[in-house]
Amino acid sequence: MDYRPSNARAPRNDGAPSPSPVKIIIAGGFGVGKTTFVGSVSEITPLTTEAAMTSASIGIDDTSAVGGKTTTTVAMDFGRISLLDSVILYLFGTPGQDRFWFMWDELVLGAIGAVVLVDTRRLADSFPAIDYFEERDIPFLIALNQFDGAKRYEVADVRKALDLESNRPVVMCDARRRESVRQTLVALVRHALDVVASENREHDLAGT
C-alpha cells in the first residue's frame, strides 16, 4: 500500500495552487498526551472521542503514571493545522489501549507518517506503536513528551532503550505547547519527504 503524499494540487480561483492536504497519525500508549498534542496545535476546535473511564478499565488501564486522568480516547482525535501556505496537516490521534487497536488500520490509510509520543517513565508502552509502523514501512518519528517532574534522558539513551535505527528521528516535545508541537510536525513532514526521496532514488537506480 502506498502511503506517500501526492504532489498534485488543484489550482485556487486566483490561479495559485491550493494547499496540499496531508494526513498525519498521532500514536502512542495510553495517557501519553495524544489528545493534548492535537488540541494544542489545531486551528479548529478539535474533534475528540473522549469517554469517561469506568470500572471496566480497572486492571486494564494503568493510571499510576497519569494521576487524575478520568477520560480516555475510544475512537480518535482530529485536528487541523496549516504549515505556511502550501500544506494543511490533518491530524488523527489514535486510541492507546490494546482493545481499540482494531481501528488503527482504517485510521492510517493515506497517512504520510506518524508521530509516536513517548512517556520516558513508561517506555514499554510505546513498543506496540513502534512495531506497528515499522512492520508497515510507514515513516514515523519518536517525540519524547516532557511531563512535569519526569526525569530527563539524553536522546541517545532513549534511542538505545527503544532499539531504534540510527536514522529514526527522535525529538523532544511538550504536547501542551503549540510551537513545540508544530516543530515536531515539521520534523515529521521533512522525514517523510526524505523517505520518499530516498525510495525514488533507489527506484531510479534499480531502473538504470
CA dihedral (4, 89, 79, 104) in degrees, to 10, reads: 10
In this predicted structure, what is the pLDDT of residue 34? 94
Task: Give me the CATH topology for the region 20-207.
Answer: Rossmann fold (3.40.50)
Return per-residue pLDDT of the chain as tens, 208 residues: 444 444 444 445 566 667 899 999 999 998 899 999 999 999 998 887 655 544 444 445 455 555 554 455 445 789 999 987 789 999 999 886 666 667 889 999 999 999 999 999 999 999 999 999 999 999 999 999 999 988 889 999 999 999 999 999 999 999 999 999 999 999 999 999 999 999 888 878 877 6
In this predicted structure, what is the pLDDT of residue 41? 96
Rounded Cα distance between 63 and 77, Å, is 20
Provide the residue ranges of all domains of the chain, joining segments of one domain with +. 20-207
Q: Residue 117 gets which letter from DSSP? A: E
In this predicted structure, what is the pLDDT of residue 84? 73
Rounded Cα distance between 105 and 97, Å, is 15
Phi (first) and psi of residue 45, to 5 degrees: -65, 115
Cell of 90: 490533518
End-to-end CA distance of the chain: 24
